[in-house]
Structure 1
Amino acid sequence: MEEEGHMKGEEAFRRTRVPPWIKQITLRAVITSFVLSLVFNFIVCKLNFTTGIIPSLNVAAGLLGFAVIKAYTTLLNNCGLLREPFTRQENTVIQTFVVSSSGIAFSSGMGSYLLGMSPYIAAQVDGGNTPINRKSLSLGWMFGFLFVVSFVGLFSIVPLRKMMILKYKLTYPSGTATALLVNSLHTPKGAKLAKKQVALLFKSFCGSFAFAFFQWFFTGGEDCGISTFPTFGLQAYSKKFYFDFSSTYVGVGMICPYLINVSLLLGAIISWGILWPWIEHKKGIWYSAEIPASSLSSVQGYRVFTAIAMMLGDGLYHCVIMLIRVAYSLITEYLEKKESFDQNPDNVDQNPSGDLDTQRRTEYFLKDQIPSWVAFTGYVVLAVISIITVSHIFPQLKWYHVLITYLFAPILAFCNAYGCGLTDWSLASNYGKVAIIIFSSWVGIENGGIIAGLASCGVMMSIVSTASDLMQDFKTGYLTLSSPRSMFVSQVLGTATGCLVSPLMFWFFHKAYTLGDPQGSYPAPYGEVYRGMALLGAKGFSSLPKHCLQLAIVFFFLAVFINIVRDLLVRYETKYRIYRFVPNAMALAIPFYLGGYFAIDMCIGSLILFLWEKRNKSKANDYVPALASGLICGDSLWSVPAAILSLAGASPPICMKFLSRAVNKKVDTFLSGGP
């Protein structure tokens, strides 16, 4: 007889009782989820404030949740005190809670649109630095803003869950992968593998944390530390080409696809290796030599607005294509149903039973309904509260602006959730960028168009992002027999936790470091980029340096062209799969502002993954997520004691700095008191 660990689908769980939805949300699950939410919010915030590249953390959340509860239940079981076994439904609740909470750390805009409102970022962006176009950040209004905008999206998509999951049978690859992980962990074979994964995660976490602690001792001054080692020489270092020994981005590189990492490196070479040195030779011709390099009227303006142009080109292309794809899919579905009805007018299901897995999953998915009137009422009530509150927090954004956003947002939320089910790609940030341009130009620079655009971005992103996340969770719940009600409640709890924790994490970094400093540890690049978008919409092209508009137009259409070429190759060229080598336009744009140091880190992660897969692909698939998660968590969490030491006034004892031979000779001469 086949062992349970090797059985497929629901057959492995045929003897396992499925608890009612209220018992799927246990006290231990909520406590574990809250603790893990603190960890994951901190990680996402740190990534937001460094490069803005955030990998999928679903696997790490599911694995860590399993490890914590399994250790707890094993201990109780050994003591004879275990009352309720640990179920996959409980594991799914934890994963949903944690991911929804950390998702708020991204959609809250702490490293993008909200940071772009601050006076510090406003001072870096030439134009629009007026009282009406900036807003001082404070915990009070950030808490209020997040709580009134983050829950609306949950109610916008709930009535469509049966259509998305059962009727259209959308795959939602991330949700499906998470469900397969959870199902696997709760079989005997999966539990054995999970123990090894958790052991590796713990080892990599400790090693990463210890290495970050070791590096801290050598950072006792500006531009000091092991991370400043000029890997490829001092000239390359001045152009931001070096390996900075960041365990976080080595781990991120192991999770991200090869194409993303190579595109990042290619973008750094094109910009910092070729384009910016050429523009710097135009100093005094295209822009004044007296202006500091950090000004947007200097070379920095070309960096920021060229990156913005590529991001907008990539975002608009994908928004349009996604709308077309959704419309085409819906029309095709309708025509197929109509043809089926014409052939079978009595509407008799030709395969009423289906397979046993589908039958059982459908039964439990339909068991605990969420009434549509609850969703509609919730959306309307929360939208009204949000309209009043948001227009009060941001007087530049009038109540009718917010109303229009909420009228169109459900359509875009549906398109994003549907498209995410087809492609696993959420375009929430792209819809937010479109909102920035529309509302900032509508309000105008004199009436606070920059703040209006950034605030509207927050409203749009929150709705569209949470809607697609919830539908992913419904797919995970469908495949693990978790109740839709438990999924919805855990999403609500996770969202509430994110709204509470994300501003606190932001404030922690804000007090310990200078966020948004291009030369600092946390440059928060998207703060300046999003403000630049709002300035572009509110003020128009007059805000750009000389010839910057022409350069921006070229890169805007380059991003569109790259996407068109890739989509055509995917559709018509299948023999050699050349599309695998077409770079990602969004990834190309990010290093235009930041440089290539983090891209090199991520490519090192890709190299480790590549060599591991060459040696043993099966083991690499099993253990790379655990290794990468440990590297990210350990290095990121060292920031907590580092920030506490900084707030307490403790400084590292050593400054490790790398100098050229000529500069070192001058330093030696100066210290020796020579001429």
Structure 2
Amino acid sequence: MAGDPHRPVVPREFEEYDDDALKGEEAFKKTKVLAWHKQITLRSLVTSFVLSVVFNFIVCKLNLTTGIIPSLNVAAGLLGFAVLKTYTALLSQFGLLKQPFTRQENTVIQTCVVASSGIAFSGGTASYMLGMSPYIAAQGGAAQNTPINTKNLQLGWMFAFLFAVSFVGLFSIVPLRKMMILKYKLTYPSGTATALLINSFHTPKGAKLARKQVSLLFKSFCGSFVFAFFQWFFATADGCGFSSFPTFGLQAYKQKFYFDFSSTYVGVGMICPYIINVSLLIGSIISWGIMWPLIEKKKGIWYSADLPASSLHGLQGYRVFVAIAMILGDGIYHCVFMLTQTGCSLIAQLTKKKVSYSPQGENSDADNEASSDDKIRKDYFLKDQIPLWVAGTGYVVLAIVSIVSVSHIFPQLKWYHILVAYLIAPILAFCNAYGCGLTDWSLASNYGKIAILIFSGWVGLDNGGIIAGLASCGVMMSIVSTASDLMQDFKTGYLTLASPRSMFFSQVIGTAMGCAITPLVFWFFYKAYTIGDPEGTYPAPFGQVYRGISLLGVEGFSALPTNCLKLAIIFFFISIVINIIHDLLARYETKYRLHRFIPNAMSMAIPFYLGGYFAIDMCLGSLILYLWERKNKQKAKDFSPALASGLICGESLWGIPAAILALAGLRAPICMKFFSASMNDKVETFLGGAR
């Protein structure tokens, strides 16, 4: 899920779209569609690079804090439109504009930016790569903190690994684009909604609305940035400043219940569906409000009282492994469900009569309603073919390069392990891309976790199984994630008349940008702050979670503290039951739509490790949106994504100057901290005695 999954947190604006609004090629009949190589312009690539840097900072910061990442497609499309529209308008004023700004060029920018920022997730700098570091390993105990089961993070091998594995998935799914888009007519809701957004920007009415959205985005961006700058003055160290404000009292603050004044997560809460935010709050209450205080009372009985707070054999172990159990339960359920759904859907498609795809068949009436638009889109979609031999040769050659490179970077993972992964990966990439077309859910991270369990157990602890499992996760996630992302882009291109070749090369260019930018952005934070400290500014929760999964793969249940296994099993099945109830209600109970009120298991699991402070931020975002919708639903629908994107971008980008100040050794001048009355008396007495 969010933060861990690449796109399970489906933004509200992607939940529904008006299918009739897509049938609008008549509005563009006077606009010439340029050749595919002219759709990829120098100005679009420069814009894409700048926005890629911005979005990589945003995704990296989200990864390092809570790991919840909403879809940023709307922000990418909106900012791409704003930048190039402003640039071309200025050129036009001076009579220097040679090529008008088109929706195909807008699609290229959006594709590049999303592909690049996608590497910030699937690249795993804040998850499986960070889990390899000795610092994270030390939190799990001496048994796994051995040279063969750790790897120091270095830019050299991080660059090499990302470039070796990130392009293979692009070639695994290309031959199936016509079947997915034209024959099976898969929806790809995010790709479709992005196309609708871009198409609307380039119509007169849509362009007027876009200008208002850009204005609001800029205002909220500035406000968020300035507020983050203001907060910095009061936070000279961890535990200081507005982010440590005990909103609901000191006891609640101790249990991680407080509002931390993060405009980023208020914005994320406005984008995520209500049930995601409520699920986070429910998970916080169950864990930090009930379970952890009760287990803490067993200190000295269930676990040693002498263990450090970060030890996985103490209270931290219960937090990590119960969260892992819920995440694995949710992931395994969705993998099985998606594979079953994909199989059933394919069987249904294959058993249909061939005539059902013909304009003269039984669906001809429905086809004729949009025959004009469909014909135009099909003509352009089929115009620039990507030969099958190119896709096949590309996959084989890149797989060989990857096998040699990855086995050299990680000697613990032998060439035959990687070969097995690449033999299995195309099947999983197809299933993920097909399932994503049906539901908009990418299960890349779930396939990655399963790869960790399989390959870490196969290699074994003494042979470096922890590193092997984490590295195999990177190989699998990169293929499966990029395959579904590319198919989403093909759908967007189909609906905006962008050439499949321009989409493919945009994805390749965006992926290359991501491979270059992501390690540098991560390194920026890694050198400026202590990354992975559970009590620090950047706890990077999934570094510990992914290493914990790999530890389970090599050591089994012996790695768990007392009674942790029982709790893990209980919550593993609770996660599965929650999903079963949700899907049964969604299928059989349609009158009241009760499935909308069933919490999301993955979302519930994240606060088990981190606490509820960010859930409160996100619930505040939901409350703002709810009140806005009550007042004016249409305005809320039109402008809430822009407001939310500005809030996210502003505070996230303050991380750049803040990190520069930290690297330069400059600290904030004030520490604003809060004490109880009794502690304050002691401080006053101490200070009085010191005088």
TM-score in terms of structure 2 length: 0.95
Residue 208 of structure 1 pairs with residue 220 of structure 2: no
Residue among 466, 471, 475 paired with 2:482: 466
Give the corresponding residue for 2:14: none
Counterpart mapping for 1:301-340 below 5 A: 301-337=317-353
- Note closer, same or farther for the CA distance 1:340–1:633 as it changes in structure 2 (3 Å cut): closer
Letter in 1 for 2:531: L
Residue among 34, 42, 47 paired with 1:27: 42
Bigger mean CA offset, 43-52 vs 351-360: 351-360
Structure 1 residue 558, shift from structure 2 partner? 0.5
CA contact (8 A) 2:22 2:495 kept: no
Letter in 1 for 2:99: E
CA contact (8 A) 2:355 2:362 kept: no
Structure 1 residue 350, shift from structure 2 partner? 5.4
Give the corresponding residue for 1:137: 153
Structure 1 residue 289, shift from structure 2 partner? 1.2
Structure 1 residue 340, shift from structure 2 partner? 5.5
Structure 1 residue 292, shift from structure 2 partner? 2.1
CA contact (8 A) 2:267 2:647 kept: yes
- 2: CA distance, partners of 1:122 / 1:232: 34
Give the corresponding residue for 2:82: 67
Give the corresponding residue for 1:226: 242
Residue 49 of structure 1 pairs with residue 64 of structure 2: yes
- 2: CA distance, partners of 1:321 / 1:491: 29
Residue 583 of structure 1 pairs with residue 615 of structure 2: no
Give the corresponding residue for 2:118: 103
Residue 618 of structure 1 pairs with residue 634 of structure 2: yes
Residue 114 of structure 1 pairs with residue 134 of structure 2: no
Structure 1 residue 335, shift from structure 2 partner? 1.4
- 1: CA distance, partners of 2:383 / 2:510: 23
- Note closer, same or farther for the CA distance 1:659–1:350 as it changes in structure 2 (3 Å cut): closer
Letter in 1 for 2:536: G
- 2: CA distance, partners of 1:7 / 1:312: 38
What CA deviation, in whole Å up to 9, does each residue of 1:149-178 have, x standing for no partner? 000000000000000000000000000000
Residue among 74, 99, 102 paired with 1:84: 99
Give the corresponding residue for 1:256: 272
CA contact (8 A) 2:56 2:120 kept: yes
- 2: CA distance, partners of 1:222 / 1:485: 49
Counterpart mapping for 1:383-532 below 5 A: 383-532=399-548
Give the corresponding residue for 1:93: 108
- Note closer, same or farther for the CA distance 1:339–1:169 as it changes in structure 2 (3 Å cut): closer
Q: How many residues align?
A: 668
Structure 1 residue 622, shift from structure 2 partner? 0.4
- 2: CA distance, partners of 1:179 / 1:355: 19
Structure 1 residue 107, shift from structure 2 partner? 0.2
Give the corresponding residue for 1:3: none
Structure 2: tracts of 5 or more residues without a match: 1-20
Residue among 155, 160, 165 paired with 1:149: 165
- 2: CA distance, partners of 1:635 / 1:108: 23
Give the corresponding residue for 2:12: none
Residue 632 of structure 1 pairs with residue 657 of structure 2: no
Structure 1: tracts of 5 or more residues without a match: 1-5
In the TM superposition, structure 1's runs of 4+ consecutive aligned residues that sit over 6 Å from their partners are 346-349
What CA deviation, in whole Å up to 9, does each residue of 1:450-489 have, x standing for no partner? 0000000000000000000000000000000000000000
Counterpart mapping for 1:631-650 below 5 A: 631-650=647-666
What CA deviation, in whole Å up to 9, does each residue of 1:349-404 have, x standing for no partner? 95786610101000000000000100000000000010111011101001000000
- Note closer, same or farther for the CA distance 1:419–1:349 as it changes in structure 2 (3 Å cut): closer
Counterpart mapping for 1:276-355 below 5 A: 276-337=292-353, 355=371
What CA deviation, in whole Å up to 9, does each residue of 1:466-525 have, x standing for no partner? 000000000000000000000000000000000000000011001100110111110000
Residue among 270, 281, 291 paired with 1:275: 291
Structure 1 residue 123, shift from structure 2 partner? 0.5
CA contact (8 A) 2:23 2:373 kept: no
Residue 199 of structure 1 pairs with residue 191 of structure 2: no
Give the corresponding residue for 2:281: 265
What CA deviation, in whole Å up to 9, does each residue of 1:645-664 have, x standing for no partner? 11111111111001111000
Structure 1 residue 293, shift from structure 2 partner? 2.5
SS of 2:536 mapped into structure 1: coil
- 2: CA distance, partners of 1:367 / 1:265: 50
Letter in 1 for 2:460: G
Letter in 2 for 1:316: I
Residue among 554, 557, 565 paired with 1:549: 565
Give the corresponding residue for 2:556: 540
SS of 1:171 mapped into structure 2: coil
What CA deviation, in whole Å up to 9, does each residue of 1:522-579 have, x standing for no partner? 0000000000000010111111101111110000000000000111111111111111
Give the corresponding residue for 1:178: 194
Give the corresponding residue for 1:37: 52
- Note closer, same or farther for the CA distance 1:336–1:285 as it changes in structure 2 (3 Å cut): same
- Note closer, same or farther for the CA distance 1:75–1:347 as it changes in structure 2 (3 Å cut): closer
- 1: CA distance, partners of 2:457 / 2:322: 20
Percentage of pairs with the same residue: 75
Bigger mean CA offset, 491-500 vs 118-127: 118-127
- 1: CA distance, partners of 2:418 / 2:185: 33
CA contact (8 A) 2:22 2:196 kept: no
Structure 1 residue 222, shift from structure 2 partner? 3.4
Letter in 2 for 1:519: E
Q: Once superposed, what is the RMSD of the aligned Cα atoms? A: 1.6
Structure 1 residue 7, shift from structure 2 partner? 10
